[in-house]
């Protein structure tokens, strides 16, 4: 009986809210609903429709495909709001529920209309794809609030919607790190809820071959496994065949399941089989198809490798057979062959390759790659498919129907469009989601040049250099999840969300309808949806960053609070308690008496936007600087790394070519000692021509030293601390006595360089006298 009273109370409350919503939405100035991506057109109308538990979803006739979408919607609503909707096959009369209608008058691919009246909800489209997108929009209308309820009031409105671009993509790298099929299906679900429709699956690379090929079993027996290094050590051996190695692969049955699962959500899966470069795992399996004939190891290193396929008939027969099996499992229209970073060293050094080039009349190695791509494209085209490749495939000429994916900025797309080729924008860094989302100290590993939520939202897929005719060749855009540093599914989700929201709106919504402020206002409800669905999103865009500087007195501090987006109201506490919607509002830098603990978060509509961030304040900790707060000396190849064999959760910002840090303007007047906490990261990088840029400073003892110099890296030596007793994979604190006074920059670097690991600084902590 009590449960019944609770349910009825919920209905009464929702009806009251709905009536209020009706009043608000009759006003043109009312807040818009949280819909992401924003539709092409939304017009409000007076009134509210209340959808009750047990209401029906009517599908036309006995259309199994539309019924599948109806069940998908019903499942989503049940999981996130607790309403149970019944799918029914009957004539599309207007019930007190939801009607799906196939209507040929709705124009546009993937387009739909959605009407909410006081009598019910109608979604219409000319094909089932449009109905699916309409169902996703309706689910968002039903999740403006969170929690399980007995009924939901929806303001009356009319939506007409269609996508701006046909290619709305996400790429997942399963070659560097393998993800379980269950996670890939979860990611496909999340793509569908953002109206993304293209999933590029990066299945082969130097570090692993992830697709079973029946004709060539060694590809997975050998090519799918590598020696674990760094974080891979903790991940190795999860598969029975691993034997302590890291790796794995997808069986034909698993691939068919992923393709089926994606198709049910109107997502095309585009397999990527790399060639002629990024081929180490394949050639480790079948060395006869490499240039040298020697068998390399499947690589445990990141970076650019020089291993290339041969160009003889036997190698092309191998690649043709592999692609035939790939095309048998992936029925979509596109086959991605990579084509990027195929450095030509092996081709240039091979007498056989040079003789073949001369015989073919090919002038140089770029033209040889063009010939290679054309031959593969011909094989793919003969089977009714279209070749896609990264923008290097433009070098030396390109088959007429090939699609160019532009990753080295926008120039590849500009050149391709001007040549009459279709193109997909995927420029680094904005579309490279392995870049960190913020500079907060709890950000995990990745590329430390931040690509923020606002950076992605501001992305315009059509380069301004193109005229209207050329712009029609821009099919859309794609974000990429390179997984060198995205070692787990949780790390992948952290990298994707909420940047996928910004991507979705850039690719679906009309350019004129987009606005940053309105997007931010719609994000709190979207974050609530993520929580309901168990998405491990990053809250960096809304989290509070806490900066503190010493005050005039020994126990005084000055605290500055900020957030990346500036959205919401920052509230804080200084007594260590959890801030809530009644805590003090931050408006200006705060004076604090140490010791203290400040905790802060941003609020919107009385609810927190992010997890609370905290910082302890005392005279010593306030002087510490983490590696991400130091400046790199050169910043040639910066990364944020961890040593998975060492301290969990310890991240180091380091320049691979020059592990050297600058501590700017440190006041040495009140300290006689500087403590430096150091650790190690794996030195598993193929640097190719960048190796010439490596800065190595001579060591003066076994194990090398940490040197601290005043003002510049060539300035007076303040301290030289031996590293011989610092164990790999462990954090250690070194103590440097200093006698200098005044305000100085400090340069800190390690001498010597191990081929297996690099020393890295975790933090620098002056010790006050």
Q: Which of 593, 591, 592, 611 is nearest to 601 (CA)?
A: 611
At 102, is the secondary structure helix, strand, or coil? strand
Is 189 a known active-site residue? no
Burial 526-539 (b: 16+ CB within 10 A, else e): bbbbbebbebebbb
Q: How far apart are CA 616 and CA 622, in angstroms?
A: 8
Question: Is position 278 annotated as part of the catalytic site?
Answer: yes
| 128, two tokens | 């089932």
**For residue 590, how many other CB atoms are within 10 A of its CB?**
17
Instruction: Quote the tokens at residue 617.
Output: 């304040």
Rounded distance, CA 248 to CA 239, Å?
7
Catalytic residue list contains 205: yes
Helices 252-263 and 181-192 cross at an angle (nearest 10°) of 10
- Quick one: CA dihedral 753, 300, 230, 200, positive or negative? positive
Q: What torsion do the CA atoms of 579, 585, 589, 592 make, to the nearest 10 degrees?
A: -50
231: its two tokens: 């974080």
| Backbone phi, psi, residue 485, to 5° | -110, 0
How far is 572 from 249, CA to CA, in rounded Å? 48
Write down the catalytic residue from 194, 202, 278, 663.
Answer: 278
Determine contact, residues 308/276, Cβ cutoff 8 Å: yes
Query: Helices then strands (H, E): number in the chain?
Result: 18, 39
* Coarse DSSP helix, strand, coil percentages of the chain, rounded to the nearest 5 percent: 30, 30, 40
Give the number of other Cβ atoms within 10 Å of residue 728's Cβ: 15
Q: How far apart are CA 666 and CA 743, in angstroms?
A: 5
How many CB atoms are closer than 10 A to CB 164? 19
Residue 394 has which token pair?
A: 């433009």
Strand order through the sheet with 631-632: 631-632, 660-667, 743-750, 705-710, 717-722
DSSP strand pairing (638-642 vs 651-655): antiparallel
**Which residue in 103, 110, 160, 205 is the catalytic one?**
205
Element (DSSP H or E) covering residue 156: strand 151-161
Q: Could you list the beta-strand ranges (E) of 643-728.
A: 651-655, 660-667, 671-682, 685-686, 705-710, 717-722
Counting other chains too, the contacts that 651-656 makes at CB distance below 8 Å and 24 or more residues apart are: 651/443, 651/444, 651/445, 651/627, 652/627, 652/679, 652/681, 652/760, 652/761, 652/762, 653/448, 653/626, 653/627, 653/628, 654/627, 654/681, 654/758, 654/760, 654/761, 656/685, 656/687, 656/758
What are the two backbone dihedrals, phi and then psi, of residue 322, each rounded to the nearest 5 degrees?
-60, -50
Helix, strand or coil for residue 449?
coil
How far are the Cα atoms of 67, 688, 697, 741 from residue 694, in angstroms, in the given order? Answer: 60, 11, 10, 33
Label the pairing between strands 743-750 and 596-604: unpaired
Q: What is the DSSP letter of 401?
A: T
Rounded Cα–Cα distance for residues 169 and 200 (Å):
7
Give the CB-side neighbour count of residue 81, counting CA atoms within 13 A: 27
Catalytic residue among 320, 341, 628, 636: 341
d(CA 120, CA 737): 76
The residues carrying an active-site annotation are: 205, 278, 341
């Amino acid at each position: 009986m009590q449960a019944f009273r609770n349910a009825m109370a919920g209905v009464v409350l929702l009806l009251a809210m709905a009536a209020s919503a009706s009043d608000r939405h009759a006003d043109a100035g009312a807040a818009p609903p949280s819909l992401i991506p924003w539709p092409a057109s939304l017009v409000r109308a007076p009134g509210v429709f209340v959808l009750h538990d047990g209401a029906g979803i009517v599908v036309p006739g006995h259309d199994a495909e539309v019924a599948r979408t109806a069940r998908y919607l019903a499942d989503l609503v049940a999981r996130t709001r607790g309403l149970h909707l019944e799918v029914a096959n009957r004539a599309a009369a207007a019930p007190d529920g939801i009607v799906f209608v196939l209507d040929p008058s709705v124009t546009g691919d993937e387009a739909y209309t959605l009407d909410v009246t006081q009598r019910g909800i109608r979604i219409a489209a000319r094909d089932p794809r449009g109905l699916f997108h309409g169902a996703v929009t309706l689910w968002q209308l039903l999740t403006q609030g969170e929690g399980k309820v007995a009924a939901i009031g929806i303001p009356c409105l009319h939506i007409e919607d269609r996508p701006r671009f046909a290619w709305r993509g996400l790429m997942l790298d399963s070659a560097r790190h393998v993800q379980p099929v269950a996670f890939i299906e979860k990611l496909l679900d999340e793509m569908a809820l953002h109206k993304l429709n293209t999933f590029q699956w990066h299945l082969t690379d130097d570090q692993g071959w992830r697709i079973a090929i029946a004709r060539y079993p060694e590809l997975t027996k050998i090519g799918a496994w590598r020696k674990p290094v760094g974080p891979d050590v903790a991940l190795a051996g999860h598969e029975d065949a691993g034997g302590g190695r890291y790796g794995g692969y997808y069986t034909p049955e698993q691939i068919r399941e992923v393709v089926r699962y994606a198709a049910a959500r109107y997502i095309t899966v585009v397999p990527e089989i790399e060639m002629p470069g990024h081929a180490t795992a394949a050639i480790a399996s079948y060395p006869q198809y490499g240039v040298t004939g020697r068998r390399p190891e499947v690589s445990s290193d990141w970076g650019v490798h020089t291993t290339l396929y041969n160009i003889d008939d036997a190698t092309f027969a191998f690649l043709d057979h592999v692609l035939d099996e790939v095309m048998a499992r992936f029925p979509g229209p596109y086959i991605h062959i990579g084509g990027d970073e195929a450095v030509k060293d092996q081709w240039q050094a091979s007498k056989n390759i040079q003789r073949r080039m001369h015989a073919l009349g090919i002038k140089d190695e770029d033209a040889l790659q063009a010939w290679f791509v054309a031959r593969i494209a011909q094989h793919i085209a003969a089977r009714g498919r279209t070749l896609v490749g990264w923008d290097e495939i433009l070098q030396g000429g390109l088959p007429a129907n090939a699609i160019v994916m532009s990753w080295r900025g926008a120039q590849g797309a500009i050149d391709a469009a001007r040549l009459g080729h279709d193109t997909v924008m995927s420029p680094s860094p904005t579309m490279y989601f392995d870049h960190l989302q913020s500079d907060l100290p709890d950000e995990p590993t990745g590329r430390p040049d931040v690509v923020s939520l606002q950076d992605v939202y501001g992305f315009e897929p059509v380069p301004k250099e193109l005229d209207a005719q050329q712009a029609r060749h821009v099919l859309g855009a794609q974000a990429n999840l390179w997984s060198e540093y995205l070692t787990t599914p949780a790390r992948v989700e952290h990298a994707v969300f909420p940047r996928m929201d910004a991507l979705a709106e850039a690719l679906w919504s009309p350019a004129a309808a987009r606005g940053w402020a309105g997007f931010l206002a719609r994000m709190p409800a979207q974050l609530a949806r993520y929580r309901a669905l168990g998405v491990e999103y990053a809250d960096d865009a809304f989290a509070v960053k806490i900066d503190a500087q010493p005050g005039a007195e020994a126990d005084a501090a000055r605290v500055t609070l900020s957030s990346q987006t500036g959205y919401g109201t920052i509230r804080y506490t200084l007594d260590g308690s959890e801030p809530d919607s009644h805590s003090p509002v931050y408006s200006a830098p705060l004076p604090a008496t140490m010791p203290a603990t400040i905790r802060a978060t941003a609020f919107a509509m009385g609810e927190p936007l992010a997890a609370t961030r905290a910082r302890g304040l005392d005279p010593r900790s306030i002087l510490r600087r983490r590696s991400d707060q130091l400046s790199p000396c050169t910043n040639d190849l910066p990364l944020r790394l961890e040593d998975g064999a060492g301290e969990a959760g310890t991240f180091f910002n380091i320049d691979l070519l020059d592990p050297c840090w600058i501590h700017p303007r440190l006041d040495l007047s009140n300290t006689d000692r500087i403590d430096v906490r150091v650790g190690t990261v794996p030195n598993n990088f193929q640097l190719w021509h960048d190796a010439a840029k490596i800065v190595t400073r001579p060591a003066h003892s076994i194990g090398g030293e940490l040197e601290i110099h005043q003002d510049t890296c060539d300035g007076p030596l303040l301290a030289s601390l031996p590293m011989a007793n610092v164990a790999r994979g462990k954090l250690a604190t070194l103590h440097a006595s200093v006698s200098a006074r005044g305000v100085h920059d400090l340069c800190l670097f390690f001498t010597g360089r191990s081929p297996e690991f690099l020393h890295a600084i975790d933090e620098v902590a002056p010790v006050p006298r």
